[in-house]
Amino acid sequence: MSKVVVVWKTENEIDIHNFVIPYVYNSKKQGWFDEVEVLIWGASQEKVMNTPLIQDRIKILIKDDIKIYACKMCADHVGATQLLEDLGVEVMYTGVYLSDNLKDSNTEVITL
């Protein structure tokens, strides 16, 4: 079984709309990986919090069975925790999650 974890940290809207979201969506839809997960990390959380279109696109990803997580420490610092949870994002401390995925030989981790 193959898995990709996309660590989404860019706040650049061109990258978000033209690479991050389409890549994640197509990774699942086209079957490039069996499992597709996203970790919203750092400044990207503030961009999500302030951009309704990105929020809508996250809801679509979740509806399409893509697991989306967010770093709780980051979310708490930018005041995004409640909004992310309301979108259906699982907000948690992510150190162990990320480390476990980095060590897993069946998982690819990319940072965008």
Predicted TM-score (pTM) of the model is 0.95
Tens of pLDDT, residue by residue over 6-55, are: 999 999 999 999 999 999 999 999 999 999 999 999 999 999 999 999 99
Q: Name the token pair of 72.
A: 């709780």
Question: Cα dihedral sign for 83, 65, 28, 39?
Answer: positive
73 bridge partner residues: none
Architecture of domain 3-111: 3-Layer(aba) Sandwich (3.40)
The residue extents of the domains of the chain are: 3-111
What is the side-by-side order of every strand in the sheet holding 35-40? 90-92, 67-71, 35-40, 3-8, 107-111
Find the angle CA(80)-CA(104)-CA(24) to the nearest 5 degrees.
Answer: 45
